[in-house]
Amino acid sequence: MPYTELDHTADVLVRVTAGSLEELFEESARAMFETMYGENTALTEEQDVTVSADTKDELLCAFLSEFLYLSEVDGMVFGNVTVTLHENICSATVRGTPFIREKHAGGTEIKGVSYSGLTIREVNNHVEVDILFDV
């Protein structure tokens, strides 16, 4: 599994591991989506998103925060994302479906993505990051 949940006293902490930076962003989004809604396979709509930031760590946080915002404002449940990175700009295409309370309300509400401890690291032949989701 590209991500694992780590022990945390109050929030949700995940460690995401991937072979490339793009995959790290994609798997980080998947970890967040699955925490919020469980696994989602009925993805009927597509949306493009672009975010920028000064550093890769800030870019990942902005990227995940944008999906939290879109999920809330647009009433969407996201489940699959494809990422392209160019310097400090992240372009993504995300697939999702409209939120249906009876189907999607079983997960954990995430209120924000914390900068605390969010540092992308190169470890051997992969990259990894620990992400703290405020619940």
pLDDT tens for 47-72 read 999 999 999 999 999 999 999 999 99
Contact predicate 26/127, CB 8 Å: no
The 8-class DSSP code of residue 54 comes to S
Question: Which parts of the chain sit beneath pLDDT 70?
Answer: 1, 41
pLDDT of residue 16: 98
Q: Domain range holding 69? A: 3-134
Task: Supply the CATH number for residue 76's domain.
Answer: 3.55.10.10
Site of tokens 């590209």? 2
pLDDT of residue 7: 84
pLDDT of residue 114: 95
Is residue 105 within a helix (H) or strand (E), and if so which, with residue range?
none
Which phi-psi region, left, alpha or beta, contains residue 124 (left: φ > 0; alpha: ψ -120 to 50)? left
Rounded to two decimals, what is the model's pTM?
A: 0.93
Q: How far apart are alpha carbons 94 and 80 in whole angstroms?
A: 6
Please tell me the total count of domains within the chain: 1
Could you give the residue ranges of the DSSP H alpha helices within the chain? 21-37, 56-74, 101-104
Phi first, then psi, for residue 26 (nearest 5°) are -65, -45
Look at residues 96, 85, 38, 37 and name the one whose alpha carbon lies nearest to residue 63.
Answer: 85
